[in-house]
Structure 1
Amino acid sequence: MPCHLSRIDIFPVKSLDGVSVSQAAVLASGALAGDRTYALFDGQGRFVNGKRTANIHHLRSTFSEDGQFITVAIDDHPPAATFHLQQQRSDLEAWLSDYFQQPITLQANPDSGFPDDTSAAGPTVVSTATLQAVAAWHGLSLEETRRRFRTNLEIDGVPAFWEDQLFSDDGSPVRFAIGDVVLEGINPCQRCIVPTRDTLTGQATASFQKTFSQRRAATLPAWAPPSRFNHFYKLAVNTNIVGQGGQILNVGDSVSVM
């Protein structure tokens, strides 16, 4: 099948489990509706996420189809607890505070979510073949690799690291289309400690970052601008979507570089 959008993942609460969907609306900000709309914060107003605590990997979360309810559990063990994200937010915060053993607040930003890269706040893009290659480097399953890298849009029908052509040598945006939506590739996504850990246990994979960086350097494709790699612990592409609020991305949409 030609180059196409094969998967859309959104993460309703930043750092918690994702949801695979068949379509996603683009917000006026360029973010995807429902992606990282909520985030956890500590008493000092800092994110509570996988960068700061491996304990977050023991939380399992699922969401109702309308996105209004979250069900949380610890390591899939009962009892699970279900909360309305708006009407029962204080109860959910109390549950999370008990788990993390510190005061936790749940904040919402329905307009743009809480992206890691605020200057490229659109969806992240990777190819299926890229994830398969990285999985093979570390002896992981494709699904576990997806969970580690937490990318929004997955492209199939292309070779590994195809997405490395979606950013330029001089930093100017590279435009590409998914269906009727035009995206701008901005930069390769710099990775943190999260992909080095088992997504269900938080246990670190030995030498993950070192092995990844060595293999990434050795397999950097000819179409990737080398100047954008001051180090090789980078994967997927950060994007912007400008002036297209209300447009819809659909699984199966064709993909082309403009």
Structure 2
Amino acid sequence: MATPLVLSDLYIYPVKSLGGIRVTEAVVEPRGLRHDRRWLIVDERNQFMTQRQTAEMALLNVLPAYNGFLLVHTARPELLPLYIPFEATPERTLFVTIWDDMVFAWRGTPEADSWLSEALGRVCKLVYMSDMVMRGTDGGEVAGYVSFADAYPYLLIGQSSLADLNSRLAQPVPMDRFRPSLVFTGGQAYEEDTWRDFVIGDVTFQGVRPCGRCVVTTIDQKTAQKSAEPLRTMATYRTQNNKVMFGQNVTSPARGTLRVGDVVAVQSYLS
């Protein structure tokens, strides 16, 4: 008998490229899970910042606080925690660039800008994507919108895939190296690569294509230290069209609520 497929973990990343929050349930909205990557840090030229260039962003952890606020903290004792709201207000605005997209954004507070600039050692600003912004998914081949995520609203990874990768590594890596939003147990390693239409609980999703991985996978999310792995090992057996693939990019036209423990049902497969 086949092992049942079950949603085992849910993650949101309220501020792009900072620490994620593991949750037991999450609301599905048109551009992704509620609160996921709606905040973005940009540099003095209003260009988006990620761990690719600033690995120290991994050391800024995010937690839900109270009364609609997030708490951002670091191990540096001289920096008291930063509180930011889940949503911004349109009091100050600017245009920011993320990949090939230039989008309208709402500014965070001057206090947040100062705190992040001190924490990261360079001038930066915190901005928010409002519901008015219509940023399309990568390439436009799939209808839908996305937050400040790289290209698609969701990243799906099976625990079997991580287990297979770790069996090839001298030092296993945790799931947080890959920053997924949806994690499931059951099934075969890398079977998520083949999924097209599937349902989690009562929410429908559509697999688009495997996710090309970058140097962020080589950054220890607890220390910000870089190494060659796991990218080097993945390149030996997960390379397609000169990209190293791990996890499946996913979209959803639906609304609803996901809960850890929901059953996953695959309805069709990519050709």
Q: Which TM-score band (shorter chain)?
A: 0.7 to 0.9
Query: Could you tell me how far apart the structure 1 residues matched to 2:81 and 2:238 are?
Result: 41
Matching residue within 12, 15, 24 for 2:14: 12
What is the 5 A alignment of 1:1-80? 2-29=4-31, 31-64=32-65, 68-74=69-75, 77=77, 79-80=79-80
* Aligned residue in 2 for 1:127: 158
Identical aligned residues as a percent? 28
Match of 2:150 among 116, 130, 138: 116
Q: Give the 5 Å matches for 1:54-203.
A: 54-64=55-65, 68-74=69-75, 77=77, 79-85=79-85, 86=88, 89-111=109-131, 112-117=146-151, 121-141=152-172, 144-166=173-195, 174-203=196-225
Greater share of residues in helix: 1
Aligned with 2:248 (options 237, 240, 243):
237
Distance 1:43 1:79 in 2: 22
- Counterpart residue number, 1:171: none
Deviation of the 1:67 alpha carbon: 5.0
- C-alpha distance in structure 1 between counterparts of 2:194 and 2:12, whole Å: 24
Deviation of the 1:65 alpha carbon: 6.0
Deviation readout 1:43-88 (Å, 9 max, x if unpaired): 111111111122223333323266512231146x565413133597
SS of the counterpart of 1:233? strand
Q: 1:36/1:237 Cα in 2 relative to 1: closer, same or farther (>3 Å)? A: same
Q: By how many angstroms is 1:203 displaced?
A: 2.0
* Compared CA separation, residues 12 and 66, structure 1 to 2 (3 A): farther
Contact 1:72 1:80 in 2 (8 A): yes
Following TM superposition, the consecutive aligned residue runs of length 4 or more in structure 1 with deviations greater than 4 angstroms are none
CA RMSD of aligned residues (A): 2.2
| Mean Cα deviation higher: 64-73 or 157-166 | 64-73
SS at match of 1:12: coil
1:93 deviates by 1.3
Shift of 1:207: 5.3
TM-score by length of 2: 0.77
Tell which has more relative contact order, 1 or 2 (C-alpha 8 A, sep 6+).
1
Aligned partner of residue 33 in structure 2, secondary structure: coil
What CA distance in whole angstroms lies between the structure 1 residues aligned with 2:220 and 2:66?
27
* Contiguous gaps of at least 5 residues in structure 2: 90-107, 132-145
CA contact 1:61–1:73 (8 Å) conserved in 2: no
Q: Comparing both structures, which one devotes a greater share of its residues to strand?
A: 2
**1:129 touches 1:161 (CA, 8 Å); kept in 2?**
yes
Unaligned runs of 5+ in 1: 167-173, 218-228
Q: Once the two structures are superposed, what CA deviation does each residue of 1:84-107 show, in whole Å capped at 9, x if it has no partner?
A: 335973212111112223321111
2:97 corresponds in structure 1 to: none
The Cα shift of 1:178 comes to: 0.9
Secondary structure of 1:137's partner?
Answer: coil
Shift of 1:201: 2.3
The residue type paired with residue 98 of structure 1 is: E
Give the C-alpha shift of residue 232 in structure 1: 5.1
TM-score (norm 1): 0.81
Cα deviations by residue, 1:166-210 (Å, 9 ceiling, x for unpaired): 2xxxxxxx2111111111100100111100122222222235422
Contact 1:8 1:154 in 2 (8 A): yes
How many residues end up aligned between the 2 structures? 231
Q: Kindly tell me: are residues 28 and 59 of structure 1, through their superposed partners in 2, closer, same or farther at Cα, counting changes over 3 Å?
A: closer
